[in-house]
Structure 1
Amino acid sequence: MVVSMTGYGRSKTENPSYTIEAEIRSVNHRFLDLHIRSTEPMMHLEEKIKKSIQKFLKRGRLDVHLNIQRRLQSAKQLNVDWTLIEDYYRFILELKKKYALADDIRLEHFLTRSEFFQFTDLREEDGEFEALLMRTVEDAAKNVLAMRKREGELLQRELLHYLSLLKKEWEELQALSPQPVERYREQLYKKINLLTNGNMDENRLLTEVALFADRIDFSEELDRLKSHFAQFEAVLAEEEPVGRKIDFLLQEMNREVNTIGSKGNDAGVSKKVVEMKSLLEKMREQAQNIE
């Protein structure tokens, strides 16, 4: 399946306590390069966020922006140890009685004792928040994937169009294959016949032509190109990410075309090689954006 690496996805979820928005922008990259920005610190959840996204997106540079709005006035919750306060209060009363102290018990006697109070970060303790966040991130990732698949369908049509043009060039190149040999044989025949005044050694002529034909023969390259065309079409139909396979096959096609260009001692062959290389370059440009 051809899936583009360019895409955008957005998701928004809310409940009585939170409103969370997630935006993900994706562009092409050789690997998965993920960057997270948030309106609130998310270090403790960053790995979970990445794993949630990786379930849907395997390659590309991903810029993730999280906008978190909390309806609570504070992101921290105060926890009071009333049991400890009561024990402390009774201790002061006993102390006053035992030593006949006249001092009053004042509020500051308690407020200055940090062990009575504990502030808890609601983000770290609130499973509801984490579940809502992960759902929002996954929905955004799904939307990115949907867009990337739509873009991938367009890329696949483009690649198949270029492949059909390549096949036409291949057919014309195959038809040109014997022409340089025939042309060389005729030219060599005329030269030798002129030099020998018609006393030509036919066997020597055939040997020279055979050697030349062997040097410029690119039938094997044409066969391999045809095989690569079939593999290319098969890869496009696979369900898994195909970007790297496509890139490899295009490199192999380009290598075969270059070899044909170096062997084909003919202007017509050279022209076809240039046209095929131009098509392959266009295909490689498209393939750079495939997951």
Structure 2
Amino acid sequence: MTGYASEEAHIGPDRITIEVKTLNNRYLELKFRSSPEYSFLEPKILKELKSFFSRGSIEMSLFRETRLDKTSFPSLNTPLISYYFKTLQHLKKKFLLKGDIHVRHLISMPNIWNYKHSFSRELEFKKLFPILQTCFKKVNLMREKEGNALQKMILRDIKRLEKKIIGLSFYKETLSQKHEERLKERMTKLLGEQKLDDQRLCQEIAYLMDKADVGEELQRLSSHLKHFRSVLHEKGAIGKKLDFVIQEMNREINTVGSKIQDLKLTQEVIECKSLLEKMREQVQNVE
């Protein structure tokens, strides 16, 4: 399911911006981007994402815009910078490295700035947690609307497939008689003037008709459709269940297609396969 939501909030003088975007995916893929000071939250946030989403490609960004006044401007951590500078000089001398040590080398080192405002990790997560949940719920509402529309489309296809199966079941009864007549005609041509053993012929026809019978397959197909419809109305993650049921229905309709030797029925089987393929593609978007 696709969805999008964003939230903005203030924690102290800082502005927090959260964005969550979800795309269709048969598996769960999580991508997280954040300001450096929030990198420690990634495991907790990913865990929280998994409690809200079970399928799809989830992209989330969390950024903090720090607003400082003159009294809270950061200052350089001079002792740490001196340590970095001496270490770089030592490495340069030890490994005979060429080039000068520039400001850009030092400015990229971690923790060179001292901030006067405090930053508590645990407190920060407690403040962020309700904002994250609000954003996740907004995304799920959007996904739910798309899911309801998709459910209606799938239900329409189910009805069409049910009609096709009923039609196949009806034509199956008339097919037996046609198949028997066709076999008798072929046998007569092959044997010519030789007399047919009616009992033997009936046995052969019964054997061939039994091999070509698709009654069980159509019955299982109807049963799978009922199960599919039932799962479609369940709550929670149902995408993988629906995907499995469609695989079973495909297996049955393929067997029907291999047994039937009638042009009209073969066309009906092809249409059933087309409907199942359409449903399979739709189910890939269901969580």
TM-score by length of 1: 0.77
Q: 1:130 and 1:159 mapped to 2: Cα distance?
A: 41
The one of the two structures with greater contact order (alpha-carbon pairs below 8 A, sep at least 6) is: 1
- Does 2:18 correspond to 1:9? no
- Does 2:268 correspond to 1:272? yes
Moved more, 275-284 or 122-131: 122-131
Residue matched to 2:219: 223
1:104-130: CA deviation from partner (whole Å, max 9, x where unpaired)? xxxxxxxxxxxxxx9568574265533
- Does 2:174 correspond to 1:176? no
Q: 2:73 and 2:39 mapped to 1: Cα distance?
A: 16
Q: 1:224 and 1:66 mapped to 2: Cα distance?
A: 50
Q: 1:58 and 1:265 mapped to 2: Cα distance?
A: 44
Residue matched to 1:147: 142
SS of the counterpart of 1:188?
Answer: helix
Q: 2:22 and 2:156 mapped to 1: Cα distance?
A: 26
Residue matched to 2:198: 202
SS of the counterpart of 1:270?
Answer: helix
Q: 1:233 and 1:202 mapped to 2: Cα distance?
A: 48
Residue matched to 2:280: 284
Moved more, 10-19 or 220-229: 10-19
SS of the counterpart of 2:286?
Answer: coil
Query: Which letter does structure 2 place at the counterpart of 1:145?
Result: N
1:211 shift after superposition: 1.1
Max Rg structure:
1
Aligned length: 248
- Does 2:262 correspond to 1:257? no
Question: Is the contact between residue 261 and residue 273 of structure 1 (CA under 8 Å) also seen in structure 2?
Answer: yes
Residue matched to 2:34: 38
SS of the counterpart of 1:54?
Answer: helix
Residue matched to 1:93: none
Question: Is the contact between residue 53 and residue 138 of structure 1 (CA under 8 Å) also seen in structure 2?
Answer: no
Query: Which letter does structure 1 place at the counterpart of 2:165?
Result: W
TM-score by length of 2: 0.78
- Does 2:178 correspond to 1:162? no
Q: 2:64 and 2:256 mapped to 1: Cα distance?
A: 60
1:141 shift after superposition: 1.0
Q: C-alpha root-mean-square deviation of aligned residues, in Å?
A: 2.5
1:266 shift after superposition: 1.2
SS of the counterpart of 2:52?
Answer: coil
Q: 2:220 and 2:73 mapped to 1: Cα distance?
A: 65
Q: 1:121 and 1:275 mapped to 2: Cα distance?
A: 70
